Structure 1
Amino acid sequence: GNLKNVLDDAGNQTQVLVIESPFVGNAQFDALVRQFNAPKAEIDCTFPADAGPQALRDALTRIRAEAEDAVRSGAGHIVLTDMAQDESKVPMPMILATSAVHSWLTRQGLRTFTSIAVRSAEAIDPHYFAVLIGCGATVVNAYLAEDSLADRIERGLLDMSLTEAVKMYREAIDQGLLKIMSKMGISVISSYRGGLNFEAVGLSRAMVHEFFPGMTSRISGIGVGGIQKKLEEIHAKGWRSQSANVLPIGGFYKARKGGETHAWGAQAMHLLQSACDTASFETWRKYSALMANNPPIHLRDMLDIKPLGAPVPISEVESITSIRKRFVTPGMSLGALSPEAHKALNVAMNRIGAKSDSGEGGEDPAHFVPEPNGDNPSAKIKQVASGRFGVTAEYLNQCEELEIKVAQGAKPGEGGQLPGIKVTDLIARLRHSTKGVTLISPP
């Protein structure tokens, strides 16, 4: 609602409603609306399907104007919704709509006079919720996700009540939001809201500057017109296709035939596993060629080595033996890696004169004794981290190099975590802990 004067202790703040989570279910949203004493405004976040190339931009201008007019007329609550979508109306991306309204009200000095509730069919996972909130949403109602849960329960695919399913869904979203915020060192949702703690990939700098002020877009990309074209293509598949009753799966989370391209497809994984199982270099070459011929997926796929000139003669460079001495494996712990993989890396790196890193989970004392064939399974680099798992005098005495981890690189601000299901008898013995109990390294 209207935050009024936050510096006035004596002011009337009874119009402010506080809820436990930014996740709002369908029933909870309806109850929330009934609690609003101040006027509210519901803004339609769709645009006409056949209104020309400026339709999306015109709609963004419209919702900004409607939001400003509503706040100036006394509305303490704004509801942005795409529920009006149908065969003739295309829903705009709710992240774009939310940020457009939030940034506009902020520029006009009106943002603290209203809350922004978002009802979105797109919101599914914690990342989408986080981006919506980071773009200014006060609460989010993922109405289609809840409707999908109800549909699955009705068809017998979920053996629980809708209340239980929504409760579990909400807990998953809340935990995901807490994890995302903790990585930024943020502990309350109000500090995260509207912060735009993101970086745009593939969006034009001009559009980002207009609708996501303060966000970085290093490589630029498509603008409002390009987004509208993609939206209209998706809308046509859903509403105007002959097979509209059977929507394409899309393959966003799991690789599907005819869906979005995944770097690790089924064929690539099959070739890689086959090459490892059979030690076949020819199969490995097939896998390598398949990966090399993939279309660009990541930004790094757009990069290539630019030759400086003719190759340097081999006789003028270091030998491969001396170069290999500078190779180091990443410090992945026993637990993150299987005992077999952990040992194999140590043996392989010692064979070529390089160094392996034990990671922060300690090391099996049996590795400190050379194998009968002469192989050395002990890591040359012993790591000590905040949890000090497996750190003993014997462990430290076996190192050629000591690595002290002062901060978590993989999960900054959060700390590493080994799930209890991975804490086997061996892991518990080496880390001097209890089998089945989750182990967390402080950040």
Structure 2
Amino acid sequence: MTDFFRQKFAQVTNPPIDPLREAIVMSLETCCGAELNVFKATPEHAHRLILTTPVLSPRKFTALVSQDDPAFASHTLSLGYDPEQQSLHQALKALCAEAEAQVRAGKVILVLTDAELAKGLIPIQAALAVGAVHSHLGRLALRPNANIVVETGYARDAHQMAVLFGVGATAVYPWLAYQVMADMHRIGELTGNPADGRENYRKGLQKGLFKILSKMGISTLASYRGSMLFEAVGLSDEVMDLCFVGMASRIQGAGFAELQMQQALLAKDAWTPRKGISQGGMFKYVHGHEYHAYNPDVVMTLQAAVQEGSYTKWKKFAQLVNERPVATIRDLLKLKPAETPLALEEVEPIEDLLPRFDSAGMSLGALA
């Protein structure tokens, strides 16, 4: 789901904030508890739980959701739904209604979880659920009264975490990542103390989050949370209007029906015992899986054409690129020939064009 989102960044030629050299001004500190009137100062304003990082460890997650203090009362909302009984759109509406009811009943920490789903249920994508609940509570002026904690198996890397925080999550507990790490320790693929491994994993995520925040000149996660600082590519207006209010989506695409179908296909594979787990080839090229623009055939053909000076192999390389499946937005575009061709003598010669080129207005740092 997070692959639909492109991170925004400040349009300058140098980084707005250097997350390494200016780390002293950056913070991922997260407060849990209802937000009170900012124009008054009372002892109750200090009654908050402080998290040094929004990526929760198993121990912190357990402690957070088991508080006896009514100021941090929690309620768990399952993201699973039966596609035979309701659609994804209906499930999101029901989730928002339940979240509203729990907040009005005094619950402060809402835990959205896709863990322990029974067979026959499919999960609402975590980003959709967080965005819908965040926007719904915001419209009702209830969002300051609640925190949204996401217990999800989907979020694994910094971008996926950033999307969840950007659409309104307070904290994230990546349960599947921890289970995978535990299994890798069990079979010997990872060595050392498992607790140290989880800590290193969280440190890596935190550095990634710092880098994402710094690209927009934002120094604290509190300023990034709920900011919707993304541009959606390929999501329909029905999804944006319900789940990602205020975020731009200039290119239409998948609606609730398509997103539900994707989850149904994943669930079908997950509940087929004889079918092994596929790595998918998203990051590393795997034959027969995700298409890569720079796949071995393209790279090797280009190298052979250059090294041998063979125009025949160059044409083969061009064919591989020009006739590839859709991999980028530009693959969906084509040149539209003019109805009446322009006379060649009306085309301005290159000698007249070059004097108008000027690079002095660009920062030299961008050219370094």
Q: Which residue of 1 aligns with 2:283?
A: 253
Asked whether the 8 Å contact 2:148–2:171 carries over to 1, the reply is: yes
1:266 Cα deviation after fit: 1.6
Q: Which residue of 2 aligns with 1:59?
A: 91
Asked whether the 8 Å contact 1:48–1:89 carries over to 2, the reply is: yes
Q: Which residue of 2 aligns with 1:405?
A: 363
Higher helix share: 2
Q: Which residue of 1 aligns with 2:75?
A: 41
Q: Which residue of 2 aligns with 1:4?
A: 36
Partner SS for 2:214: helix
2-side partners of 1:252 and 1:34: how far apart?
A: 37
Q: Are the structure 2 counterparts of residues 36 and 196 from structure 1 closer, same or farther at C-alpha, using a change threshold of 3 Å?
A: farther
Q: Which residue of 2 aligns with 1:341?
A: none
2-side partners of 1:66 and 1:203: how far apart?
A: 25
Asked whether the 8 Å contact 1:95–1:132 carries over to 2, the reply is: yes
Q: Are the structure 2 counterparts of residues 36 and 77 from structure 1 closer, same or farther at C-alpha, using a change threshold of 3 Å?
A: farther
Output aligned runs, 1:247-326, within 5 Å: 247-309=277-339, 311-312=341-342, 317=347, 322=351
Asked whether the 8 Å contact 1:5–1:11 carries over to 2, the reply is: no
Q: Are the structure 2 counterparts of residues 171 and 408 from structure 1 closer, same or farther at C-alpha, using a change threshold of 3 Å?
A: farther
Structure 1 residues 382-405: Cα deviation after superposition (integer angstroms, max 9, x where no partner): xxxxxxxxxxxxxxxxxxx86861
Q: Which residue of 2 aligns with 1:197?
A: 229
Q: Are the structure 2 counterparts of residues 194 and 406 from structure 1 closer, same or farther at C-alpha, using a change threshold of 3 Å?
A: farther
Question: Partner letter of residue 250 of structure 2?
Answer: R
Q: Are the structure 2 counterparts of residues 12 and 259 from structure 1 closer, same or farther at C-alpha, using a change threshold of 3 Å?
A: same
Q: What's the TM-score once normalised by structure 1's chain length? A: 0.70
Structure scoring higher RCO (CA < 8 A, sep ≥ 6) equals: 2
Asked whether the 8 Å contact 1:125–1:173 carries over to 2, the reply is: yes
2-side partners of 1:316 and 1:202: how far apart?
A: 40
Q: Which residue of 2 aligns with 1:20?
A: 52
Which entry has the higher C-alpha Rg, 1 or 2?
Answer: 1
2-side partners of 1:305 and 1:313: how far apart?
A: 18
| 2:29 corresponds to 1:29 | no
Identity %: 34
1:268 Cα deviation after fit: 1.0
Asked whether the 8 Å contact 2:234–2:254 carries over to 1, the reply is: yes
2-side partners of 1:81 and 1:174: how far apart?
A: 22
Which structure 1 segments of 5+ residues have no match? Answer: 329-380, 382-400, 410-415, 417-443
1:235 Cα deviation after fit: 0.9
2-side partners of 1:327 and 1:275: how far apart?
A: 36
Question: Partner letter of residue 243 of structure 1?
Answer: R
2-side partners of 1:212 and 1:273: how far apart?
A: 44
Asked whether the 8 Å contact 1:45–1:82 carries over to 2, the reply is: yes
| 2:306 corresponds to 1:243 | no
Output aligned runs, 1:66-105, within 5 Å: 66-105=98-137
1-side partners of 2:237 and 2:120: how far apart?
A: 30
1:162 Cα deviation after fit: 1.3
Asked whether the 8 Å contact 1:15–1:37 carries over to 2, the reply is: no
250-259 or 139-148: bigger deviation? 250-259
1-side partners of 2:65 and 2:354: how far apart?
A: 66
1:169 Cα deviation after fit: 1.1
1:50 Cα deviation after fit: 3.0
1:24 Cα deviation after fit: 0.7
2-side partners of 1:290 and 1:324: how far apart?
A: 34
Which of 193, 198, 203 lines up with 1:161 in the alignment? 193
1-side partners of 2:333 and 2:306: how far apart?
A: 28
2-side partners of 1:326 and 1:212: how far apart?
A: 46
Partner SS for 2:148: strand
Which structure 2 segments of 5+ residues have no match? Answer: 1-32
Root mean square deviation of aligned Cα: 2.5
1:255 Cα deviation after fit: 2.1
Structure 1 residues 225-256: Cα deviation after superposition (integer angstroms, max 9, x where no partner): 121111111110111x3533x12221111222
2-side partners of 1:323 and 1:165: how far apart?
A: 63
Q: Are the structure 2 counterparts of residues 153 and 259 from structure 1 closer, same or farther at C-alpha, using a change threshold of 3 Å?
A: same
Output aligned runs, 1:345-360, within 5 Å: none
Structure 1 residues 170-198: Cα deviation after superposition (integer angstroms, max 9, x where no partner): 11111111111111111110110001111
Q: Are the structure 2 counterparts of residues 84 and 59 from structure 1 closer, same or farther at C-alpha, using a change threshold of 3 Å?
A: farther
Partner SS for 2:75: strand
2-side partners of 1:315 and 1:108: how far apart?
A: 65
Structure 1 residues 141-176: Cα deviation after superposition (integer angstroms, max 9, x where no partner): 111011111111211112222122112211111111
Q: Which residue of 2 aligns with 1:210?
A: 242
Partner SS for 1:84: coil
1:276 Cα deviation after fit: 2.1
Equivalenced residues, count: 334
1-side partners of 2:281 and 2:83: how far apart?
A: 25
2-side partners of 1:161 and 1:49: how far apart?
A: 41
Question: Partner letter of residue 216 of structure 2?
Answer: M
2-side partners of 1:147 and 1:234: how far apart?
A: 19
Asked whether the 8 Å contact 2:66–2:74 carries over to 1, the reply is: no
1:27 Cα deviation after fit: 2.3
1-side partners of 2:327 and 2:355: how far apart?
A: 31
1:318 Cα deviation after fit: 6.2
Q: What's the TM-score once normalised by structure 2's chain length? A: 0.84
